[in-house]
Each structure stands twice: as structure tokens, then as C-alpha cells.
A and B are shown apart, each in its own frame.
Chain A
Amino acid sequence: MSKTDLETTVTDEKPVPFRGAGFLPTPRRVVAPLVFIGIIAFWEFGSHNGFISPLVLPAPSEAFAAFMDLVNSGLLWKHLSASLQRLIVGWTAGTVLGIMVGTLIGLFSVARSGLSPLVSAVFPIPKIALLPLFIIWFGIGEGSKVATILFGTFFPTVIATYGGIDNVDRGLIRMGQSFGLSRLSIIRKIILPGALPAILSGARISVAIAIVLLVAAEMIAAEYGIGAYVLLAGSLMATDQLIAGVAMLSILGLVIAWLIGKAEKFFLRWR
């Protein structure tokens, strides 16, 4: 080996290039607020400059003014409480019944064979299409609105629950049997806690469905409620009120999703 050869090997020394970057999106806290503020600022700017016609889209400040009107007139609470009441009653009843029926389907062969085709058949029907029927059955008042939400949340909860039960580790159930636990104990202490993650993620979906159905139901014969407010605004072409109403729905959805996130953190801290 000559001297020059040796030199070239020494000068060729360089660090191994790093190739493993990317494909790992991590949350950046500031980005989301910036996007929000950016869009709203652009929108406001466009409305003031005139290239967004006030007929097409009112400025955010006008929508906010409409919202403040609602607050000052005291109507906000009336609309909000009417909507929340329907949502809470309908969603809770639908979820409780859904968990019960889902558990039956998950555990018993007869219930599974009998009910699961029925659930599959009724689940895809848009419940809004059934609203006229519900009005005949339950009256034009609260009954039909709550029933729509109840039916809308019931089916996804049933499906999430029995899917969750199907996925409970058979080994744990077998362990319960091997220690001579009663059937009820196995259901209460092994199967239901095991299905809880699936039930909670089902709740996320059913809440979104419930909000959609809430607005739809309130658009028919409701005096108060966010849906009624939005409908009235629409028929009066009061687009500022319409945007205010829609923004309230979005915030409602976000708050509920946040609450479910909290519940997941609390109930699933063992994960």
C-alpha cells in the first residue's frame, strides 16, 4: 500500500448520513390556533375590503354581534338549554339501552342470531327519514325529538358494545371460569371492563350523530333550540345569525368530544 492510498482513506472519513427522519407527525401546539386565527382574519379582512360580499358570507364580527344579541336578549340560554336537554336525555337513554342490547348480543347466541341482523338492517336508515313517523307516534313536542336522538345513538352503541365484547381476551374469560367465578361476576368484572374502550370510542361517534339529529329534529316544529334558531335565521336570510348558530354547534361538539376524552383518560388509565 503506497502512502497516497493511505491518505485518501483518511480524508474520505465522513459521518454516516441520517436517513431515519420523517413519518412521525408530532403535535405542535401553536399551529392549530394560528390556522384558526389566520382563516378568521382573512375572512374579516375580505369582508371589509368587499371581495367577500356580505350577501354571500357575513363578516365574523357581524356573526359575533349576532351572538352577543342572543346573549343580551337572554335567548341564548333558552335555546341552549332546550337543545342540551334533548341531547342529554336522548343520548343517555340511547347509550344505556344500546349497551344493554349490545351486551345481550355479545353474550347470548339467541340474542345474537335474532337481533344482530335487525340491528344491521335498521342501522343504515337515516333516522331523519323516520322523523315524521316519530311525530305521529310520540307527538310533535319533545317526544319525537328525543326519540330521534335515542334511535340515532342506540344503533352505533349496540354495534360498538358487541364488537368490544367480541374482542375481549378469551384467555381472561377462561381465567375467570378456572377460578370458579359466577357468570355475573365474569360479565361485570371481566367482559364489561374489557369492552369499555370500544364502548367509549363508540360514544364519540354516537355523540356526533346525536348533534346532527338534534338540529334536524329541531328544524321541525321547535320553538327553542339551536336548530330552530338556525332554521329561523336561514328563512330570514339572516346569515350572521346562521353563522353564530353553526359556530355554537361546532363548539358544542368540541366540548363534548373533550369531555369524552377526559372520561377515556379516567376510565382507561390502566392502558
Chain B
Amino acid sequence: MDLSLRQISHNYDEVEVLSDINLDVQQGEIVCIIGPSGCGKSTLLRFIGGLEQPRNGQVVQIGSPPKDSLNPLTYIFQDFALLPWRTVEGNVSLALEDHALSAAEREKIIVDVLARTNLSDFRKALPKQLSGGMKQRVAIARALSVRPAVLLMDEPLSALDSQTRELLLDDLVDLWSREKYTACYVTHNLSEAVRFGHKIVVLSRRPGKIREIVEIDMALEERKNNMAELEKTQTQLWQAMRDEALAADRELLDV
């Protein structure tokens, strides 16, 4: 299943947030969306998953999601969004409970996703007992449990410290190598973008427009050891973003 964003623009009251966004997300591809803070990248991601509606334009699904997909467009949030009163397995099962699955099928899915995210030993733990990285693993397990066609990740690593970020990024890359999922990945971190994106979309500051789309051909698995080469791309991206970021930083809020 591919996604296509067509002429999306949006405004909150007087303020124009996004303007004329056209973008295709192909199956098996990871699209990173970067931009200065307040450029509407998270808003854009909410449009893609149908959590919010743009004033103009639309997001189109091309083709249908795989039959076994329970929730084709699935989010991973920056703040993890785990229910603090449910255990790890309870949080995963929350996503499954509204679907017609037998208890045995549900159990099988939970065991499977917890194994894939190395969480099997933490089944009965409450979120308050887990570190930030573990919490985000639970959120990833929950997202995988509904067999998404497209993963929508909203700064999933931004609330974590840099070591954990590195570990989790490796996990996401490993997972992609095995399953070739499709993803939209919003971040403000350039090095995450060059490590993880097949296609990097640079948005300008408000109103967010697509300023540049950079494609990186290097396979995801090789990037970790070839950071020198990626450095160039990263610098190039930073050059494109620098002035925007500077201007965005100096903008008054609440205009």
C-alpha cells in the first residue's frame, strides 16, 4: 500500500501552518520529515494517519493494505503514550482487544511482538518501572502487534538520552532489514534522518513547504559504518535548514 499526499495546506485560524505539500510514500520506504520546530511536521503526520483533517488537499491510500493488517496506519508517539495502569502485556493487548481475535490468537501475537522487541522478561512490569528506552520498545511492540502497513513515527527518539537513542535506532534498522516496513519518520535530528531515511523531506519554517527532497541510496544496514560519507549529506541538509531554523527560533509565539 502506498500513500500519496496531495496539495495539502492547513491553517489554524489566521496562521497558515502548511502550504501545498505533495509527497508520495512508497511501500517499503522510510520517509523522514525534518524541519525547524513549529513548521508543522507533526501536524502533517497527524494528517497522514487521519488523526486530524487538513483544510485543503487530501491523503490518499493507493492499493489496499494487507488482509492481515489490523490497523494499517499505526503511530509511535514521542511521549510513548502507554497507559500507566496497565502492564507491558496489557498495553500491547489494548491495541488488540477491539478486534475479533480469540484469546489464544491474542496471546500468540503478544508473545511474538514482545520477543521481537526483547521485552519477554518484562511482560508483567508497569510502565513506571521501565526506563524511557524500554517504554518506547513497548510502544513499538504495541505498534507491531496490529501488523501495520505504514508506521507513523512522531519523534520517537526525542524523549530519550543519546545512548538509548543510538540503541533504539539500531533496533529500528534491524527490524526494517527483517520486515521492510513502510514508515514516515518525523524528527528534528539530522543524524537520525540520514541514518534512517531513504528519502528525506526538508520542510521550511511556517508555513511549512517542501523545500527539498534528498534521497540516499546507501542501504540502511551499511550506514552505521559509513557515517563519514553521510556527513556530507547531513551538512548539505543543515545548510538548507540553518537559516530556516534561525528564523524560526527568533519568531514570537502566539502570533
Contacts and interface: CB of A to CB of B under 8 A. Distances in A.
B98 interface: yes
B121 to A, nearest CB: 19
Contacts of B85: 193, 270
B128 A271 contact: yes
Nearest to A179: B95
Chain A contact surface mostly: helix
Contacts of A176: 94
A164 B95 CA distance: 24
A180 interface: yes
20 contacts: A171-B77, A171-B79, A176-B94, A177-B51, A178-B51, A179-B71, A179-B94, A179-B95, A179-B98, A179-B146, A180-B70, A180-B71, A180-B98, A181-B95, A181-B97, A182-B98, A189-B94, A193-B83, A193-B85, A270-B127
Interface in A155-190: 169, 171-172, 174-182, 185, 189-190
A181 B83 CA distance: 14
Contact of B83 (A174, A177, A190): A190
A179 B74 contact: yes
B49 interface: yes
Given A180-B98, A181-B98, A189-B94, A171 B81 contact: yes
Contacts of A182: 98
Chain B contact surface mostly: loop
Nearest to B90: A189
A174 B74 CA distance: 12
B95 A271 contact: no
Interface residues of A, number: 18
Nearest to A173: B81
Nearest to B72: A180
A270 to B, nearest CB: 4
A172 B98 contact: no
B75 interface: yes
Interface string B154-168: 000000000000000
B84 A175 contact: no
